[in-house]
Amino acid sequence: MTNYNVIYIIIGIVQPAIGFPQVVWSANRNHPVKLGAKLNLNEAGDLILRDADGSQVWSINTAGKRVVGMQITDTGNLVLVDAHNVIVWQSFDHQTDSLVPGQKLLEGQKLIASVSSTNWRKGLYAAEVTNKGLFGYLQTNPRRVYYKYLVNGSDGSKERSYVRFLNGSLALFIHSAEPSRPDGVIPVPLASSAQYMKLMPDGHLRVLEWQSGWRVVADLFGVRRRSM
């Protein structure tokens, strides 16, 4: 995709085909490259993006991990696999500002909004999960929390806390893990078409759905939450 003569590696929702593609992941959002840049999966198994002048911009550092191929799944996950089709690296573990249905946001990971709708570089707003709940905050020093969904209780799971985007909810697994019931649920309208969730440049976590055009169907940070 080009934008004012710069290029990003992106994954986007391209169906329905008549809708403008919606970007849900990008590799090099802070370092756009020029026309003539090259993406190469080399013989060592590393995926490398080089700018038009040959300088390395981005790499996943999987050399020596016996990568034999790259594919994008039907859920929108870009994966590198070994000879046994085991995932060595996946874009789902390196979120930018969006989640697609089925995707997790784990403790230690975060969504970071873009500066604006036309500037995809990292902005000030972020969202993350901790062992206390889900938080939206400004990345200042000190950081300023503007949204929180706290979940009381004690850890009963060995897994990291996480949220998962499901059909009909953003499910919080803070002290438990699937297949247990979630510790908290933020309702989302059931999908009647393609959906995705995005932390917007204004700090709102919104769900968009194709309805003869991309429409906002939920604003998950629009209401202040109380402890559960």
Q: Please tell me the number of Cα atoms within 13 Å of 167 on its side-chain side.
A: 5
pLDDT tens digits for 105-129?
999 999 999 999 889 899 999 999 9
* Structure confidence at residue 196 (pLDDT): 95
β-strand pairing of 10-13 with 6-7: unpaired
Q: Which of 70, 67, 69, 64 is nearest to 27 (CA)?
A: 70
Q: Is the pLDDT of residue 204 over 90?
A: yes
pTM of the shown model: 0.87
The predicted structure's pLDDT at residue 4: 38
Report the pLDDT value the prediction gives residue 75, as an integer from 0 to 100.
85
pLDDT tens readout for residues 80-114? 999 999 999 999 999 999 999 999 999 999 999 99
The DSSP secondary structure of 69-103, one letter per residue, reads: EEEE-TTS-EEEE-TT--EEEEGGGS--SEE-TT-
pLDDT of the residue at 74: 85
What mean pLDDT is reported for the chain? 88
pLDDT band for 15, please (50, 70, 90 cuts). low
Position 212 confidence tier, pLDDT thresholds 50, 70, 90: confident
Q: How many CA atoms lie within 13 A of 86 on its CB side?
A: 6
Residue 2 has pLDDT above 50, yes or no: no
